[in-house]
Amino acid sequence: MYTREESLDGLTFHTIPIEQVKADAERIGVFQPQADHNTARNHTTADKAAAGTNDDAGTAAGTCTDPAIRIEWRDMSPADRTGFISAVQCLLSRPSAGDGTNYPGSQNRYEDLVAVHQQLTSTIHMVGQFLPWHRYFLSIYESLLRQECGLTGPMPWWDEAKDAGNFGASPLFTDEYFGPLPAKTADGQSTCLTTGPFTMTLHIGPGGGQTDHCLSRGVDESLMSQCSADFSNYCNSYTDYSDMEKCAEGGPHAYCHNGIGAVMADVASSVGDPVFFMHHSFIDHSWRIWQNADAARLTQIDGATSSDGSGVLNLDYVLTSRGLRPDVTVRDVMDTMGGYLCYRYSY
């Protein structure tokens, strides 16, 4: 298995080349082709099982009998899409719940999320808990949208593999929804958004700082081509959690962040771009597919808890959100169909 850097150098995400992943996977004989994310499907029982969305799993446990369904953005009605964007705007308009110390720099409820991610950067990236913490974080985001901003429609997810190499044409990036995705300028710079619902000033970042700056993007489609079904399938071919997690984090996860560029490429403060949560829904979906391939994977967790390689991750490891919501353990978020989360993906 490949190794990865043991530090968070600079602002951008550390990536691994797909050629290295392919070579390692084929060398140790773990690669088995998986279902292609790009394949259009009818949402049959078989598809639900393939995505880890079999309703019976939660029912048998008696803890999740009516799971919420996360709907792929393309399959959402226009009214549900608009309702979701309005709920995100609501978080941006609500005052911060911080007391000046717990969410430093935040000037609205949405930025409370940005502040927490910024503070925890070194403990939630390039570590084994990367996937469970971000699953927990997504669930907090949903709870804020529903409980504080009245979201009643479905939570969306983004099958970004369908847009690999052509993110600029994705149905997300329109003035009606997440705003445009401009290409990098000739000299490699990003562009501040001036149209769409998120033409705003950010107060947290860049990096660990707190300097006012615009929400900007600058797509590099050569990087976005790595946010592909092929790359995700290679990552999901690993049978050990830690191997899969490192591949997912340095592969499709990192390439998409860096490919969208600017705010999204800022490790600490990438949450400032609302597309952050759409991207992480894809990463969470891919983990769920990996889990569903073997029932034992619903309790399989390992890896280091610190970026220096120390600490051993287990199911009792505590995940915190600095008061956004109560702390949980890794065990609580391993099964999306468990009692704490209780959701599934539409396919």
State the average pLDDT over residues 30-34.
53
Kindly state the average pLDDT of the residues 103-109. Answer: 97
Output 36 or 84, whichever has higher pLDDT: 84
Name all domains of the chain by residue range, CATH numbers in brackets.
Answer: 20-29+45-345 (1.10.1280.10)
SS3 state of residue 343: strand
CA–CA gap between residue 26 and residue 49 (Å, rounded): 26
- Mean pLDDT score, 160-164: 97
Q: What local confidence, expressed as pLDDT, does residue 30 receive?
A: 61
What pLDDT, on a 0 to 100 scale, did the predictor assign at position 115? 98
pLDDT band at 229 (very low <50, low <70, confident <90, very high): very high
In percent, the amount of the chain with pLDDT more than 70 equals 87
Residue 190 has pLDDT above 90, yes or no: yes
Residue with tokens 């430093």: 104
Percent of the chain with pLDDT over 90: 81
Pairing of strands 213-214, 216-217: unpaired
* Per-residue pLDDT tens digits for 258-303: 999 999 999 999 999 999 999 999 999 999 999 999 999 999 999 9
Residue 51 Rama label (left phi>0; alpha psi -120 to 50; beta): alpha
Cα–Cα distances in angstroms (integers) from residue 142 to residues 110, 123, 336, in the given order: 12, 22, 14
**β pairing state of 201-202 and 216-217:** unpaired
Look over the chain and give the mean of its residue pLDDT values, rounded to a whole number: 89
Has residue 172 got a pLDDT over 80?
Answer: yes
Q: Does pTM top 0.95 for this prediction?
A: no
Q: Would you state the pLDDT for residue 196?
A: 98
What was the pLDDT predicted at 46?
34
120-159 pLDDT, tens digit each: 999 999 999 999 999 999 999 999 999 999 999 999 999 9
Q: Is the CB of residue 23 less than 8 Å from the CB of residue 13?
A: no
Query: HSE of 303 in the Cβ direction (CA atoms, 13 Å)?
Result: 29
Mean pLDDT, residues 51-71: 62
pLDDT tens digits, one per residue of 293-332: 999 999 999 999 999 999 999 999 999 999 999 999 999 9
- Burial class of 1 by CB neighbour count within 10 A (0 to 12, 13 to 18, 19+): middle
